Amino acid sequence: MSRPEKGEKRLYKVICCCDGDTVVIGGGPRGRAREIIRLRGIDTPEKGQSGFLEAKMALEELCLGLWVDVIPERDGHFKPDRFGRTLAYIRINELLINAEIIRHGHSMWVTQWGRGRFSVEMREAEFEAETKKRGLFAKYESGEFFTWGRGRKKVYFRNSEERENYKVGKFKGRSRDHG
């Protein structure tokens, strides 16, 4: 399968959801028969962690068996992560699936590697999940750590002021054991 030309839209069928932030598509923008797509800007709980099944089921409801548009961070440039998965956004018509996972409360908006091309949609989705106390946002208080994966910590803040205070050391998040 050839790479889409700039501005050309190619659709790929989602054939499997591995977890809440990874799908397998038939064909792929990098020319493989099957391609693993890691959704950019989100990080859902890993297998064995609280919230894993809910996140995976939400992703399956949103896109399993459907045709999606796979969108790179920059036009025409699909970047793999350290595991060889293609980092991308996926969209069905105008619905950005990455943002929907956040909107349902299964992930925070991850800005560790930059805000990204859909920062407005991601920020709005996080605000909605936070204000409506959905998913992970219902379980934790502001300043508490979300912990999953290989001991990675993500801190949830109520507002940008708390986030800025944390960066300069004025606001300390509370650690919590998530068994």
98 and 161 inside one domain: no
What's residue 179's pLDDT? Answer: 34
- 177 burial level (CB within 10 Å; 0-12, 13-18, 19+): exposed
What's residue 50's pLDDT? Answer: 81
Helices first, then strands: H and E counts in the chain: 5, 9
Share the mean pLDDT of the chain.
Answer: 80
Domain boundaries, position 165: 141-179
71 and 107 inside one domain: yes
According to DSSP, the residues that pair with 155 across neighbouring strands are: 145
What's residue 177's pLDDT? Answer: 35
Number of Cβ within a 10 Å radius of residue 38: 19
147 and 63 inside one domain: no
pLDDT-based confidence at 98, cuts 50/70/90? very high
Which amino acid is residue 33, in one-letter code?
A: A
Query: What is residue 174's DSSP assignment?
Result: B
Compute the average pLDDT of residues 120-135: 91
In a domain, 3, yes or no: no
What's residue 69's pLDDT? Answer: 95
How many structural domains is the chain composed of?
2
What's residue 178's pLDDT? Answer: 34
46 and 106 inside one domain: yes
pLDDT-based confidence at 4, cuts 50/70/90? very low
Nearest 5°: the CA angle 80, 84, 86 is 40
89 and 79 inside one domain: yes
**What CATH number should be reported for the domain holding residue 27?**
2.40.50.90
Q: State if pTM tops 0.85.
A: no
148 and 116 inside one domain: no
**Measured distance CA(90)–CA(96) in Å, rounded:** 6
| CB hemisphere CA count around 175 (13 angstroms) | 5
pLDDT digits (tens, 9 = 90+) for 13-71: 999 999 999 999 998 777 778 999 999 999 888 888 888 999 999 999 999 999 999 99
28 and 109 inside one domain: yes
91 and 165 inside one domain: no
